[in-house]
Structure 1
Amino acid sequence: MASNKLLFSFLPFLVFFLHFGQGSSAVHFHPLKLFVFGDSYVDTGNIHVNASSARNFPYGITFPGVPSGRFSDGRVLTDFLAKYVGLKKSPIPFTVWQRFGRKGAKYGMNFGFGGTGVFDTSFPFPNMTTQINFFRNLIVNSIFSSYDIHSSIALVSPSGNDYSFYFTNNGSLEGFKPFIFSVVNQISVNLKRIYKLGVKKVVVLGLGPVGCYPKPTAPSFKKCNKTMDSIAVFHNTLLKQAVEKLNYETKEGSPNFFILNMYDTVLSIIKNKENRKGGATFKTPLKPCCFGVNSNFSCGSVDERGNKMYTLCKRPDLALFWDAVHPTQNGWFATFSSFKSTLKHII
């Protein structure tokens, strides 16, 4: 009887060891996986060489030291979230994973492509629906098991390319409000589809204060565009309603869908000029570190002789924005620091 008591008292520790222990080669701990969908805010290298400015110098000068396909001087949102959830590396980009076989998918996969939207944009890269199709096909082909999916997290970034494309193609102001409804509705469809594929925690990035990004604030880089910001506010209001509805429909006792509040977070950083690192500040938060000459925002562009057509700041770590619309690595660091209050309820 005493030996049975000893066995049962030891059992919880035995289960813990078998699940997490490294002592036996026969036992393999499956780490949480991260699946990423969206655009340039999360892309870590899906776009091939010569198809994106993010493949040109000076992109990547902070990390990894050379252009890697990230639209920043260094790490982007995906990298910070991957580290936060305990992954040793960011999930591999979809376009390169096959070079490494199944081992390449160890930490999940990144399906995000810079320039893409919820719907088709001017960029010849897969929209979010197609990205989710890629994900589904990998599940069907057993690249990811049901265990992998159920213990994973999805990050979804629709950061505004649909709206840029709408205006670029002379979309009417009268039709813009209905278009916002259609974009958010499709985001909701996408989130629900990812959930139905088995991912139980789906995190979506809200729209940032787009009127405060460098492009609409040029050339002074001092004053936000209130009209553009009102678009972001309306989008985020609809997104909040959509996520609340999704959480109500799933009824699992705890939320399955979460919003990262990009709008309030970035506005707060701009207001306080805060980068939360070493006590330094973003002295001119609306001014990008890298931007083209003659008010051209083509960071990394060169002329036919190879001469640089952009200027570059000396301290990217003191800039909130890297180029016209993308944060620096330190800008993402400051932003992600605020996201942790939401993420602590997820992980």
Structure 2
Amino acid sequence: MASHHKFLRSLFSLFLILLLSGQWIMQLEARHHSRHPKVSLKKLFVFGDSYADTGNIRRGLSKVWKEPYGTTFPGKPAGRFSDGRVLTDYIARYLRVKSPLPYGMLKEQPHHVKYGVNFAFGGTGVFNTLVPGPNMSSQIEQFESLINNNILNKCDLANSVALVSVAGNDYSNFVATNGSINGISSLVGLVVNQTALNIELIHKLGVKKIAVTSLPPLGCVPEITVSSSYRACNDTYNMLVSIHNSYLLDAVGKLNGERKKNLSFMMLNLYESFLSVLNESKKQKSNRMKNTYKPCCTGVSNEYSCGSMDDKKVKKYRVCKYPKASFFWDTVHPTQAGWHAVYNRLRNTSDLRQLHHH
């Protein structure tokens, strides 16, 4: 009889341990889910330019398919305008999806669009800045063709996010065509209005959340700071950028209308994120990014640029020893370390967090 009671006590103790451990596991799971809310996101669609392109630009059109591009990631040239990852890769990481395949690499098969599609193309503007090459409207037409051909369905779109990268090719094209910045202010309203129409169309096609980038501080890119021996940003260019960004913020606000929460349109503030990282690197205190405006990869002279070779296949460029210590990779584009630092700033903004709320 005593052994029977002993058996019952042991059974009860085991039951109690299982009950308590079950509650503990449930509490752990609850805590885990509160830290990492379940996201129903399925796909990321990307539109824009070289800040977001992960391999759409054709090999014959750009040096980014040649060394030393891609040396940090994936270890060889892969069509990214950097030594490694770019904005798209970090936004995808934040959304917990893989970086989507470039449109040019699709075979228009459903399994190729598992994580979305990247339509971004280096050099693209809102208007025509490339010959040959798409503008942003034609990228949206490519997106629409995938919908019309049933490669993408309504469910894919409803649980998806779009990233729209506008990094200033319309303005650099204006300067290249006209020889100066004079008269460029008349272009700002046109670029912003067309950008607003573009993101509205993406929304109408079924994507519920769209993030558009503000212009980065173009007066701080090495292409411009070279005139000051990489010592200072150009205030004239940055003033133009500020006007563009102010107009864009108003346009995004109008598209959202009266909504205060669960917004459809967000603006990712590249301007403040870039400046924050650049200003920190200028101070050089407890910060490994020492080179502020000077690019890591440069041509050996003015006639050459990063990735250049002469007719005998001799390299006509130099690469810094530590790309992690440079914000800029070439005359326009950040290093992977630069993009990662910018992403760390963006990650703490309400606009990026809004992309999680479906």
Q: State whether TM-score is above 0.5.
A: yes
Q: Deviation at 1:174?
A: 5.6
- Kept after mapping to 1: 8 A contact 2:280/2:287: no
C-alpha distance 287-252 of structure 1, shift in aligned 2 (>3 A): closer
SS at match of 1:273: helix
User: Which of 221, 239, 244 is matched with 2:230 structurally?
Assistant: 221
Q: Which residue of 2 aligns with 1:126?
A: 134
Counterpart residue number, 2:21: none
The offset of 1:166, in angstroms, is 0.7
Secondary structure, counterpart of 1:294 in structure 2: coil
CA distance in 2, matches of 1:31, 1:196: 18
More helix by share: 2
The counterpart of 1:68, out of the listed 78, 82, 86, is 78
CA drift at 1:296: 4.6
Query: When the two structures are superposed, what TM-score results if normalisation uses the length of structure 1?
Result: 0.86
Task: From the superposition, tell whether residues 275 and 37 of structure 1 become closer, same or farther in structure 2 (CA, over 3 Å).
Answer: farther
Post-superposition offset of 1:53: 1.2
Q: Aligned match of 2:295 in 271, 288, 293?
A: 288
Runs of 4+ in structure 1 off by over 4 angstroms are: 171-174
DSSP-derived class of the 1:218 partner: helix
- Partner residue, 1:26: none
1:182-238: CA deviations, max 9, x gaps? 001100000100010111110001101100111111151111111111111111010
Residue 181 of structure 1 corresponds to 189
Aligned position for 1:309: 316
Aligned residues: 315
Residue equivalent to 1:84: 94
Q: Corresponding residue for 2:32?
A: none
1:231 aligned partner = 240
- Please, what is the CA RMSD of the aligned residues? 2.1
Cα distance, 1:340–1:292 mapped onto 2, change above 3 Å: same
1:272 pairs with 2:280: yes
Instruction: Give the distance between the partners of 2:64 and 2:112, measured in 1 at CA.
Output: 22
Which residue of 1 is the match for residue 348 of structure 2? 341
Q: Which AA in structure 1 matches 2:240?
A: I
For residues 341 and 275 of structure 1, do their structure 2 counterparts lie closer, same or farther at Cα, with a shift above 3 Å needed?
A: farther
Query: Offset of 1:294 from its aligned partner?
Result: 1.8
Shift of 1:254: 2.6
Partner of 1:97 in structure 2? 106
Q: Pick the aligned partner of 1:44 from 54, 62, 65.
A: 54
Residues 297 and 323 in structure 1, CA contact (< 8 A), matched pair in contact too: no
Letter matched to residue 214 of structure 1: P
Is the radius of gyration larger for structure 1 or structure 2? 2
Distance 1:97 1:275 in 2: 45
Q: Deviations over 1:212-271 (max 9, x none)?
A: 11111115111111111111111101000100010007x595311111111111111111
Distance 1:30 1:259 in 2: 22
Written as runs of structure 1 = structure 2, the 5 A alignment for 1:7-26 is none
Unaligned runs of 5+ in 1: 1-28
- TM-score, with length taken from structure 2: 0.84
3-state SS, counterpart of residue 155 of structure 1: strand
Match of 1:162 in 2: 170
Instruction: Render the CA deviation track for 1:33-52: whole Å, top value 9, x for unaligned.
Output: 00000000000001222221
Q: Which amino acid aligns with 1:290?
A: C
2:148 corresponds in structure 1 to: 140
Kindly indicate whether the alpha-carbon contact (under 8 Å) linking 1:115 and 1:123 is maintained by their aligned counterparts in 2. Answer: no
Return the alpha-carbon distance in structure 2 between the equivalents of residues 186 and 239 of structure 1: 10
SS of alignment partner, residue 52 of structure 2:
coil
- Compared CA separation, residues 297 and 264, structure 1 to 2 (3 A): farther
State the AA in 2 paired with 1:329. Answer: Q
